[in-house]
């Protein structure tokens, strides 16, 4: 079993979009019982709330289910439970590190992308560009899928 947690600031834009996209990728591989996927925020602002309307619209547009996406805050226990804790930007990584649970399993989302390695996924809550976020997340989700494929083989 491999467990993946996507993390962003509020868990309403980037991380739930990544969760939904990666669930779709994993389902197409038939790995639903092998790969567990979740998302969380580094702060409490949107706990219990659905994703941002822009995220929901983009997922609907591309035919990816948003079912079950509900905001929650990351916890120290998540650091032990998940094999991959994936932040969207450097600020997310800093906030994850503040949990004090180590960073051996912490990654930046675009480090799974050949083309965009080292860059950050901009927050569409502020930029309004959900298309850019979608494209970057698709690229990185493909790379993450390849990494997990190697681990499972």
Catalytic residues: 8, 14, 123
Ranges of beta strands (E only) in the chain are 2-8, 35-41, 84-87, 106-108
Residues 6+ apart with CB under 8 A from 137: 14, 17, 18, 21, 109, 121
């Amino acid at each position: 079993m491999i467990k993946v947690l996507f993390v962003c600031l509020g868990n309403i834009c980037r991380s739930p979009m990544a969760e939904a996209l990666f669930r779709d990728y994993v389902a197409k591989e038939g790995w639903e019982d092998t790969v567990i996927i979740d998302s969380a925020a580094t702060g409490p602002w949107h706990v219990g709330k659905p994703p941002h309307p822009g995220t929901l619209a983009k997922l609907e547009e591309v035919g990816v289910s948003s079912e079950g996406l509900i905001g929650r805050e990351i916890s120290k226990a998540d650091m032990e439970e998940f094999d991959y804790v994936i932040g969207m930007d450097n600020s997310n990584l800093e906030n994850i590190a503040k949990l004090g649970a180590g960073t051996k399993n912490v990654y930046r989302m675009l480090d799974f992308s050949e083309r965009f390695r080292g860059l950050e996924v901009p927050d569409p809550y502020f930029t309004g560009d959900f298309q850019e976020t979608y494209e970057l997340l698709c690229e990185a989700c493909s790379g993450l899928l390849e990494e997990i494929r190697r681990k499972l083989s």
